[in-house]
């Protein structure tokens, strides 16, 4: 008979059952609801004003608070607030040694290092609006953690709410955030210019909706560089001159049209 | 007993049973297939080269031709070719007095006026790629016709393949075309910049796909100006400075980032 003696170094037992949510905006709302639905006990919701803390805290059966010094001692604190506000909230944060997390694409996780050694980032790569529900299980979560115990915990924890979880370091996360600004914020602004221009001509934005849907659907199976269409990639100078002519009274849009068209021509000549 | 005598001015009986398709590109392919499926007899497909005329003509059981002077006499001719090419093809066109149509957003229908009095435009507001099938019944068709008989005919004819058919005059059509360049071509280019930037950083474009889908889905029920997100609309100067820093080695993208961000800030201050 064998006796196998193994020296097991005990791993720290950290877990997140009770959470305080710092923030009550779009990201806090969507992640808070997803965690709540997974049985996480969200004890408090902090926001600068009671008016914004109350509706979310009611949904999550949490206490609304407006003073960060009033947070209870729980397992973890999730900061889902405007990037600028994170440092001042941390400075006023009353405890140390707790798990502290934020959801920001462009903030280093070391922002927490004066308060705890268990800190990390849970960055959801999605655009959230309060008026729309998003299938959180399809949202890619980009994770980073200050140590491997917390990394394992976060991975297990996030896999409960999303099928797409991966670790990115801060440089990678910042790159993804920047790419998201182009792919999401700037493409939405291109829609807005179309909306404004059509309104100005008494035409309805809804005409463009099938086109916008198809443009986005195309890149679910292709790379955008492979499916570029339009006058610029065809180098159709005549049409571009007509379009610039139509924009004579809107020099800002004219400059934008010229800049993006030139950029498309250059990009596709090179490749 | 009454006898009601009504003087009925006979309307001209025009119809489109037999068609020649001029062009074998993306637009020609998608419209040609939809018309063929509706029982329209597509007699010939013209293209500059047999290599491009043949695959489509085979699908549509049509004769491929590469010389415009070889077109047969049929009810109507549908020009779905690059805008620049339309005038030269019309100049070489051997018949007069036939129904002549084009699919171009930015070409006046009067381009046909030397050849016939029955001419018009059938402009599909969609982005077509050969590798993707599009539900043509959801594509908005913008129509214009040189006379009311043809207008009626085109409306009935197009309603067979699309649920969204409307008449736009040439100024309106040109405006819609320009708006489509922003909403489709330019938004796809914003995706492309994201793709190129991520590739450069060894990150995968597929990370952005859920975000791109949601960004487009948002504007199916909202106006884009109402759902703008991102650092520029929040006037988050710190993040924007970081992003510009990340683009130091790509001055073109840096300029684009700066231009679009400034434009978003201005747009949303005003409103």
What would the pLDDT profile of B169-188 be if each residue is shown by its tens digit? 999 999 999 999 999 999 99
Q: What is the pLDDT of residue A215?
A: 97
The answer to whether residue A26 scores a pLDDT higher than 70 is: yes
**Chain B interface mutation, best of A207, A246, A256, A268, highest count of B Cβ atoms under 10 Å:** A207
Model confidence at B254: pLDDT above 80:
yes
* Contact between chains at A179 and B194 (C-beta distance less than 8 A): yes
C-alpha torsion angle, residues A25, A28, A34, A37 (rounded to 10): -90
Asked if B243 lies within 8 A of A132 by C-beta distance, the reply is no
In this complex, the residue of B203, B209, B219 whose CB is nearest that of residue A191 is B219
Q: Closest chain A residue to B251 measured between Cα atoms?
A: A263
Domain assignments of chain B as residue spans, ordered by start = 18-168, 174-270
B18-168 CATH: 3.40.50.720
Q: Is the pLDDT of residue A213 over 80?
A: yes
Residues of A in contact with B176 (CB under 8 A): 198, 203, 207-208
The reply to whether residue B210 touches residue A257, judged by beta carbons under 8 angstroms, is no
* Residue in chain A lying closest to B237 (CA): A84
Give the containing element (helix H, strand E) for B19: strand B18-22
Q: Which of A188, A162, A233 is nearest to B218 (CA)?
A: A188
Chain A contact set for B171 (CB, 8 A): 201
A-contacting residues in B 86-145 (Cβ below 8 Å)? 106, 125-129, 131-132, 134, 138-140
What distance in Å separates the CA atoms of residue A71 and residue A96, rounded to the nearest whole number? Answer: 12
Long-range contacts of B41-44 (CB under 8 A, 24+ apart): B41/B17, B43/B18, B43/B19, B43/B72, B43/B74, B44/B20, B44/B70, B44/B71, B44/B72
Asked if B260 has any chain A CB less than 8 Å from its own CB, the reply is yes
Q: How far is A11 from chain B (nearest CA, A)?
A: 32
Alpha-carbon distances, residue A144 vs A32, B190, B194, B219 (angstroms): 19, 27, 22, 32
Give the distance from residue B5's alpha carbon to the nearest chain A alpha carbon, in angstroms: 44
Taking contacts as CB-CB distances below 8 angstroms, the residues of chain A near B263 are 189, 252, 256
CB contact under 8 A, B175 and A227: no
The answer to whether B208 contacts A236, with C-beta atoms less than 8 Å apart, is no
Q: What are phi and psi of A139, to 5 degrees?
A: -80, 125
B232 and A228 in contact (C-beta within 8 Å)? no
Across the interface, whether the CB atoms of B225 and A195 are under 8 A apart is answered yes
Average pLDDT score over chain A: 93
In chain A, residues 38-77 whose CB comes closer than 8 Å to chain B: none
Instruction: Tell which B residues from 181 to 240 touch A, by Cβ distance under 8 Å.
Output: 181-198, 201, 203, 205, 207-225, 227-234, 236, 238-239
The answer to whether residue B8 scores a pLDDT higher than 60 is no
Q: Quick: pLDDT tens for B110-164.
A: 999 999 999 999 999 998 877 778 889 999 999 999 999 999 999 999 999 999 9
A183 and B215: CB-CB below 8 Å? yes
Interface of A with B in 11-40 (CB under 8 A): 26
Q: How far is B49 from chain A (nearest CA, A)?
A: 18
Q: Which residue of A has its CA nearest to B106?
A: A239
Burial of A141-174, coded b for 16+ CB within 10 Å and e otherwise, reads bbbbbbeeebeebbeebbeebbebbebbeeebbb
User: Is A214 close to B134, i.e. CB distance below 8 A?
Assistant: yes
Percent over 70 (pLDDT), chain A? 95
> What is the tens place of the pLDDT at every residue in B54-73?
999 999 999 999 999 999 99
pLDDT band at B2 (very low <50, low <70, confident <90, very high): low
* Cα A45 from chain centroid (whole Å): 19
Q: Please tell me the predicted confidence (pLDDT) of residue B110.
A: 97
Q: Which CATH number fits domain A174-270: 1.10.1040.20, 3.40.50.10680, 3.30.70.1290, 3.40.605.10?
A: 1.10.1040.20
Give B195-225 as a DSSP string: HHHHHHTT--GGGGHHHHHHHHHHTTTS-GG
Is residue A167 predicted with pLDDT exceeding 90? yes
> Given an 8 Å threshold on Cβ–Cβ distance, is B190 in contact with A190?
yes
Residue A39, sorted as left (phi over 0), alpha (psi -120 to 50) or beta, turns out to be left
Residue A2 has pLDDT above 70, yes or no: no
Kindly determine whether residue A238 and residue B83, on different chains, have CB atoms separated by under 8 Å: yes
| ipTM exceeding 0.85, yes/no | yes
Q: Are the Cβ atoms of A125 and B210 closer than 8 angstroms?
A: yes
> Which residue in the set A106, A127, A263 is minimally distant from B242, CB to CB?
A106
- Angle between helix axes A187-200 and B251-270 (nearest 10 degrees) is 50
Cα distance from A34 to chain B (closest Cα, Å)? Answer: 17
Pick from B106, B192, B223: CB nearest A242: B106
- Tens of pLDDT, residues A54-71: 999 999 999 999 999 999
Closest by Cα among A235, A233, A237, A238 to A268:
A233
Are B141 and B125 in contact by the 8 Å Cβ rule? The answer is: yes
Residue of A nearest to B240 (CA): A178
């Amino acid at each position: 008979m064998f006796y196998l003696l193994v020296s097991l170094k005990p791993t720290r037992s950290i877990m997140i059952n009770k959470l305080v949510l710092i923030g009550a905006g779009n990201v806090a709302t969507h992640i808070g609801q997803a965690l709540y639905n997974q049985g996480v006990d969200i004890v408090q919701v902090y926001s600068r004003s009671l008016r914004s803390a109350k509706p979310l805290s009611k949904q999550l059966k949490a206490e609304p608070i407006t003073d960060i010094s009033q947070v209870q001692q729980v397992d973890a604190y999730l900061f889902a607030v405007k990037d600028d506000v994170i440092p001042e909230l941390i400075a006023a944060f009353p405890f140390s040694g707790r798990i502290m997390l934020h959801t920001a694409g462009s903030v280093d996780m070391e922002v927490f290092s004066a308060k705890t050694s268990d800190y990390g980032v849970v960055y959801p790569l999605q655009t959230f609006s309060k008026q729309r529900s998003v299938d959180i299980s399809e949202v890619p979560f980009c994770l980073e953690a200050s140590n491997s115990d917390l990394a394992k915990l976060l991975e297990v924890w996030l896999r409960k709410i999303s099928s797409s979880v991966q670790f990115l370091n801060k440089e990678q996360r910042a790159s993804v955030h920047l790419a998201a600004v182009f792919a999401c914020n700037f493409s939405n602004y291109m829609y807005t210019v179309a909306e404004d221009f059509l309104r100005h001509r008494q035409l309805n934005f809804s005409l463009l909706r099938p086109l916008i849907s198809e443009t986005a659907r195309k890149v679910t199976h292709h790379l955008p560089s492979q499916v570029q269409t339009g006058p610029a990639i065809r180098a159709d100078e005549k049409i571009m001159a007509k379009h610039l002519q139509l924009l004579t009274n809107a020099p800002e849009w004219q400059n934008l049209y010229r800049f993006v068209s030139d950029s498309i021509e250059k990009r596709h000549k090179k490749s």
